[in-house]
């Protein structure tokens, strides 16, 4: 895992300030995701000239231009597929920044101007025109200052939480988050409305029925094996059967774009790519051991790990302390978003 000590500046210099999701879904997302990205708040809600609004969060608008900004690098035929994840990311950004403001996490004018000067200096060094960057990003300098303020608020909050004790505990309790361990998995995603408990329960039962169908298919396939099949060959056959049956169900039922690949989401680490409930469940299972229903902010999942790579030994906390802080930042944001969404008024236009 690569530490990202200056995430906001990196996003600016790559022209993806508000469009982290353009190349891949915003963090955290199913089936894959990105490394932890701090909220960039206000700029993502800046109003375009036409005043079009994509959503409101507790009455505060998220401008359509923010969504367009994030989607501009996505092929047009893929934009409808990516848009819900982009909008979800922007909603989370606004929720977190609203909360930080309410908690009176204060950022001074000098801090904002110093950060802006740093950005301009780096752009000048790289022979990139600052005004052109803003124009290309459909962004005003005032909005940029608001974004800097939101980023600094988040950094201050994380810095206050990331005590040496908290970081050491995270490192000690979750070694597989930092040793390079990887899992490859398939999943089946259903997406009921989180505000409709009855539908959530219906979808949960639907996934359990799918799980039973997969298990029945595997059992039927194993029953056809010769009676003298040894344990090793039987386990190989079971793994093949469950992989094929799960992939078939994913193609038929999953709401995730990975359904086209039988639900395969490729390799991912324990932290920084998947939302925590998904990653935790996947890493707790052995290859070709199917999960029960797992609920995340994106919906309900069945998960089937298909391979695993063990991480390296001898990793020292002192060598990866910034990586541990990045993971803590991501987990803090994820927990905040889950809690804040539960009490928020979110209207998607």
In whole angstroms, what is the distance from residue 83 CA to residue 68 CA? 9
pLDDT exceeds cutoff 60 at 15:
no
Question: For the chain, what is the mean pLDDT?
Answer: 85
Strongest mean pLDDT among 21-25, 132-136, 174-178: 174-178
Q: Which of 283, 124, 302, 89 is nearest to 204 (CA)?
A: 302
- Looking from the CA of 86 toward its CB, the CA atoms found within 13 Å total 31
Handedness of CA 171, 173, 179, 180 (dihedral sign): negative
**The pLDDT of residue 50:** 56
For 9, 73, 170, the CA distances from 12, given in Å and listed in that order, are: 5, 15, 30
Contact call for residues 10 and 4 (beta carbons, < 8 A):
yes
Q: What is the pLDDT of residues 261-312, one digit of tens each?
A: 999 999 999 998 899 999 999 999 999 999 999 999 889 999 999 999 999 9
- Mean pLDDT of the 60-68 span: 92
In whole angstroms, what is the distance from residue 278 CA to residue 30 CA? 8
Helices and strands in the chain, H and E counts? 11, 7
What is the per-residue DSSP string for 280-297?
A: HHHHHSPTT-----EEET
Domain ranges of the chain: 7-174+322-348, 181-309
- Mean pLDDT of the 125-143 span: 89
CATH class of 7-174+322-348: mainly alpha
The domain 181-309 having CATH identifier 1.10.390.10: the answer here is no
Q: What is the pLDDT of residues 30-48, one digit of tens each?
A: 444 433 333 333 334 444 4
Tokens for 277, please give them.
Answer: 């409930």
* Strands across the sheet containing 53-57: 60-63, 53-57, 346-348
Q: What is the pTM of this model?
A: 0.76
What is the longest distance spanned by two Cα atoms in the chain? Answer: 77
Contact call for residues 92 and 333 (beta carbons, < 8 A):
yes
Q: What is the pLDDT of residues 230-246, one digit of tens each?
A: 999 999 999 999 999 99
């Amino acid at each position: 895992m690569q530490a990202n000590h200056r995430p906001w500046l990196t996003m600016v210099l790559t022209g993806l300030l508000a469009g982290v999701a353009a190349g891949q879904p915003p963090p955290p997302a199913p089936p894959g995701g990105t490394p932890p990205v701090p909220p960039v708040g206000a700029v993502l809600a800046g109003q375009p000239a036409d005043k079009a609004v994509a959503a409101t969060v507790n009455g505060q608008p998220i401008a359509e231009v923010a969504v367009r900004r994030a989607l501009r690098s996505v092929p047009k035929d893929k934009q409808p597929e990516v848009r819900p994840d982009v909008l979800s990311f922007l909603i989370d950004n606004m929720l977190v920044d609203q909360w930080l403001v309410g908690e009176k996490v204060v950022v001074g004018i000098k801090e904002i101007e110093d950060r802006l000067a740093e950005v301009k200096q780096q752009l000048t060094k790289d022979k990139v025109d600052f005004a052109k960057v803003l124009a290309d990003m459909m962004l005003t300098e005032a909005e940029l200052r608001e974004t800097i303020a939101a980023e600094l608020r988040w950094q201050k909050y994380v810095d206050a939480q990331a005590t040496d004790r908290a970081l050491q505990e995270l490192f000690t309790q979750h070694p597989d988050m930092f040793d390079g361990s990887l899992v490859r998995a398939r999943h089946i995603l259903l997406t009921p409305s989180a505000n409709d408990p009855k539908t959530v329960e219906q979808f949960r039962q639907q996934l359990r029925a799918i799980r039973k169908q997969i298990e029945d298919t595997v059992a039927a396939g194993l029953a056809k094996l010769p009676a003298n099949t040894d344990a090793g060959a039987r386990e190989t056959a079971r793994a093949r059967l469950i992989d094929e049956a799960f992939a078939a169900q994913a193609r038929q039922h999953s709401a995730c774009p990975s359904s086209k690949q039988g639900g395969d989401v490729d390799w991912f680490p324990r932290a920084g790519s998947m939302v925590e409930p998904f990653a935790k469940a996947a890493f707790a299972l052995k290859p070709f051991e199917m999960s029960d229903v797992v609920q995340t902010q994106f919906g309900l999942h069945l998960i089937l790990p298909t391979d695993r790579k063990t991480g390296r030994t001898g990793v020292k906390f002192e060598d990866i302390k910034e990586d541990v802080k990045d993971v803590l930042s991501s987990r803090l944001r994820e927990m905040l978003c889950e809690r804040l969404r539960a009490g928020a008024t979110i209207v998607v236009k």
